[in-house]
Amino acid sequence: MRAVLPLFRYFLFATLLFACSVSSRRETAEVSVRVRLAADPESLNPVNYGPTIGAFQMVNLLFQSLLMVDLADNQYKPLLVGSLPLVERQDSLTRFTYTLRPEAKWDNGRSVTVQDVIFSMKVIQCPLVNNEAWRPRYEFIRDIRPDSTNPRRFTIVGRGYTPDMLFDTGDFFILPAYLFDPKGLLTPFTLPQLMNQFDQLSSHPNVRAFAALFNDEPFARDRTLLRGSGGYALEEWKTGYLRLTKKPGWWAAPLRISHLTAHPPALSFRIIPDVTTALVLLKNRQLDVLAEIPAGEFVRLRKDATIRQNYALFTPQTFKVTFIGLNGRLPKLAHRKTRQALAHLVDVNAVIQATQRGFAIPTVGLVSPKDLNYYNRAIRPRRYDVAEAERLLREAGWQRRDGRWVKQAEEEEISLTLTLCYRTGDPAHENTALIFQRAAAQLGIPVTVQPMENQLLFQSLKSHQFEACIRQLSGPPFVPNLKPYYHSESAQENGRNHTGFGTAESDSLIEVIGQAPDVARKAGPLKRLQAIMHEESNLIFLYFSQERLAIHRRFTNVKASGVKPFYDVGAFTLQTP
């Protein structure tokens, strides 16, 4: 077997290259953009799409929201509406008035309507729908009211006011009600009813029927159902490959708006988990776009004259923060001094050097050090210090006995061991795990590193069946809604507060931050929140990274940006000879 296996791998790899070469020639003739994805999206449902950048990217190509972030300048721009909303504040309510573009159409030729907007928010607020990732973000919305004098105008009524609401009111995918609810199951309910009678309506037959339909696999993968107002349609989805094609006669094409584009006739997404394979395809010019390139490989690409001749290389500063999450619900990790001790075993500078090769900046919290308004510079970064880690462990009640760290928890003795999971195929996370493993071994703490497929990892986090994990969060270039990620209410099963972080003060601060009307009144609470998170250490923040992109020079107007998905593939324009 040992003699046969390498030959088999060579044959398999050669077959892959041959297949990709044939496909590459066909797609090049069609001016297709060939993009590598590290993982299958698994779901393109616009409310509960898969937890990958690739899924986010493709849903954005199929569906549209009211507003968008233009990656050319990272600014809000109108998408399905003609302009940014008119904002009117009155007492405890704020009204955001929008007007839909008259040109906006669905694939069946019908106009995008105000009822479609209301329906889309109903789905986000509907009981039993898999909408946990979105619903908390829009809990400030009280109603969406059509304008009686203009069928394309409507007002979103929100409770309170913060600057973030302006974008939040326009940042949800608008769904075609005729396609997603053909029987009108949600029609009898108003949006306030669904929100205010959430628990009672969970047993309503219409709600149960709609949720069963919407949560089912067809709305995750069926190309006849996954059709929005975007410029592309899902033409093919098979193992390892997705293909999107430009819609003929797309409604926005005649408008010639610079941020509202669908230029390439076809987009081919190849699922290539192994980055080495992806790099080989890149060097053979069988890929047009490769993102998330490992730092060491990116340095080598920069030195390759052939690569530089054929590809433009980009390193935009991102809003992606990498951290180690510790499940504070577990008895072994419940004491914050235990978590602080583990934080002292992370050599952040060594991690950045080994995994990012300088394409990152260390951070003490969830805010980028580049943010002059919100980053808390008063927090002292925890230094790598094994002796300090040992002192903190003893203060947390741990004792070293027979080469093990043990303590009494309720009526049983527990040992300090740790399983550290991360996404398989991610060399940066793998190296981070190994660096931490070696440091912990110096103190006699056994750490098992456990790579996991992305979906399995995500499920483990949602169900809280993990001890420690290496994760990365991406955000926009402004303070997002923190409640879904860090509030105690989001720490229940299926919530996004996976580590169980939360104190009465941090919850209060998150609520204040969410309601603060301007930068000045948001900055103080946000800096205090960073200090609490640093003290609690459920999340050991490491660094903010720079994205590393290679994009073929045959395309212009690529809009490389630090905002995910880090480039606007729909804007790519073929370079004329």
The amino acid occupying position 249 is G
CATH topology of domain 318-546: Dipeptide-binding Protein; domain 3 (3.10.105)
* 0.85 exceeded by pTM: no
Nearest to 538 by CA among 495, 489, 493, 503: 503
Domain 64-219 has CATH 3.90.76.10: yes
Amino acid 577: pLDDT = 60
Distance CA 446, CA 461 (A): 21
In this prediction, residue 496 carries a pLDDT of 86
Give dist(CA 100, CA 170) in Å, integer.
11
pLDDT number for residue 2: 31
Q: What are the Cα distances from residue 337, in Å, to 414, 457, 534?
A: 16, 26, 11
Number of Cα atoms under 13 Å in the Cβ half of residue 199: 0
Domains 4-44+230-316+547-574 and 64-219 share a fold: no
Protein fold of 4-44+230-316+547-574: D-Maltodextrin-Binding Protein; domain 2 (3.40.190)
Q: What is the distance, to the nearest Å, from the Cα of residue 173 to the centroid of all Cα atoms in its chain? A: 15
Q: What is the pLDDT of residue 475?
A: 62
Give the mean pLDDT per block of 10 residues along the chain (577 residues): 34 41 45 91 91 88 96 93 95 95 97 98 97 88 97 96 86 97 97 96 97 96 96 96 97 95 96 94 96 93 96 93 97 97 97 94 94 94 97 97 91 94 91 97 97 91 96 70 88 89 96 82 94 98 95 95 91 83
Q: What DSSP letter does each residue of 565-576 carry, written as one string?
A: TSS-GGG-EEPP
The full set of domain ranges for the chain reads 4-44+230-316+547-574, 64-219, 318-546
